[in-house]
Amino acid sequence: MTGVFEAERDRLFAIAYRMLGSVADAEDVLQDVWLAWQPVDHPEVARPAAYLARMTTNRCLDTLRAARRHREAYVGPWLPEPLLATGDADDDDAELADSVRIAFLVALESLSPAERAALVLRDAFGYPYDELAGILDRSETACRQVVARARRHVQARRPRQSANPAHADEVAARFLAAARHGDLDGLLAVLHPDAELVSDGGGKASAARRTVTGADPVARFVAGIAARQPDAEYRPVLVNAAPGAIMTTAEGPTVISIDIDGERVTRIHVIRNPDKLTHVHPS
């Protein structure tokens, strides 16, 4: 049944990454699932895809519970490991792409592990409630309640985003050009008045310990980076289904993700923690 696992691998990784916010942890979960799948009596499994999804979800739940204390002690804002290529077969699906954006994954941090699993499986992957009940070992009614509660929590914490991909790329390009040159006026022209910048250094790289809020403070923060790193190179990339860039300096790579609403940049996520960038290659 190796073929069954390989056929489901991308979907299983997509589930695990959305639940954990970590490329490395998602890969570890898939390795565990692969090993646990080997001794299973495969002919007795009526629905292998659902069975593998349940195994993946259960291991993600275990990982989330074990990581909760570490997350609570994290230095500064926590951001997920950046995903520079989602690997999803359904990347053109708007719901699936939206569910991998950094703002969504950060909002998921407000949920319990069970709420996180239920929302990801239902809203990102469209699992019907009868399958969701089997995966989470709860009644359909309980699953509906968990999903509804999780939606309310996440919707209250997600920033608004509205821009078609081509237009978003254009706005992002203007922001990155201004950022590269430390162009304060250019930055202010593209930033939303209530723009925010969230920087994750994890206590291992220099980063703002708190969210920078407002167009002027954000513009000055970004311009300051350009002044300190005049030789930085920027390579535009897609970061978690959103426009972004890899900024490379002598210190190593930094990943930048840009949220856009209409004509303006509303939020910038800056990932500098080197533990989260081991899979990122500057060129």
Per-residue pLDDT averaged across 158-172, rounded? 76
In this structure, is residue 281 part of a structural domain? no
> Is 186 a residue whose pLDDT tops 80?
yes
Q: Which residues contact 164 (CB under 8 A, 6 or more apart)?
A: none
One domain, residues 153 and 169: no
Per-residue pLDDT averaged across 149-159, rounded? 86
Predicted local distance difference test score (pLDDT) of residue 238: 93
One domain, residues 94 and 192: no
One domain, residues 193 and 152: no
Structure token pair of residue 38: 């080997």
One domain, residues 68 and 148: yes
Q: Which residues contact 129 (CB under 8 A, 6 or more apart)?
A: 122, 140, 143, 144
Q: Where are the beta strands (DSSP E) in the chain?
A: 191-200, 212-213, 233-239, 242-249, 252-261, 264-271
Domain boundary among 116, 138, 157: 157
One domain, residues 32 and 135: yes
Domain boundary among 116, 131, 157: 157
Structure token pair of residue 171: 């706005």
Confidence of residue 108 (pLDDT cuts 50, 70, 90): very high
Phi, psi of 193 (to 5 degrees): -55, -30
One domain, residues 40 and 170: no
One domain, residues 55 and 174: no
> Is 177 a residue whose pLDDT tops 70?
yes
- pLDDT single digits (tens) 229-255: 989 999 999 999 999 999 999 889 999
Confidence of residue 19 (pLDDT cuts 50, 70, 90): very high
Tell me the pLDDT of the chain averaged across its residues.
90
- pLDDT single digits (tens) 201-228: 999 999 999 999 999 999 999 999 999 9
Confidence of residue 88 (pLDDT cuts 50, 70, 90): very low
Calculate helix-pair angle for 2-20, 48-72, nearest 10 degrees: 30
One domain, residues 29 and 82: yes
One domain, residues 134 and 152: yes
Predicted local distance difference test score (pLDDT) of residue 18: 95
User: For the domain that residue 262 is a member of, what is the CATH number?
Assistant: 3.10.450.50
One domain, residues 49 and 106: yes
In this structure, is residue 283 part of a structural domain? no
Q: Which residues contact 205 (CB under 8 A, 6 or more apart)?
A: 251, 272, 273, 274
Domain boundary among 122, 157, 192: 157
One domain, residues 143 and 28: yes
Least confident of 68-72, 199-203, 256-260, 271-275: 68-72
Predicted local distance difference test score (pLDDT) of residue 274: 95
Predicted local distance difference test score (pLDDT) of residue 144: 97
In this structure, is residue 173 part of a structural domain? yes
One domain, residues 223 and 239: yes
> Is 92 a residue whose pLDDT tops 80?
no
Confidence of residue 96 (pLDDT cuts 50, 70, 90): confident
d(CA 283, CA 276): 17
Percent of the chain whose pLDDT exceeds 90: 75
Sheet strand arrangement including 242-249: 212-213, 191-200, 264-271, 252-261, 242-249, 233-239
> Is 11 a residue whose pLDDT tops 70?
yes
| Pairing state between β 252-261 and 264-271 | antiparallel
User: For the domain that residue 99 is a member of, what is the CATH number?
Assistant: 1.20.140
In this structure, is residue 247 part of a structural domain? yes
Per-residue pLDDT averaged across 154-172, rounded? 78
Range of the domain at 175: 165-276
Per-residue pLDDT averaged across 77-104, rounded? 75
Structure token pair of residue 153: 């929590």
Which pTM value belongs to this model? 0.89
The total domain count for the chain is 2
Structure token pair of residue 98: 């939206």
The region, left, alpha or beta by phi > 0 then psi within -120 to 50, assigned to residue 183 is beta
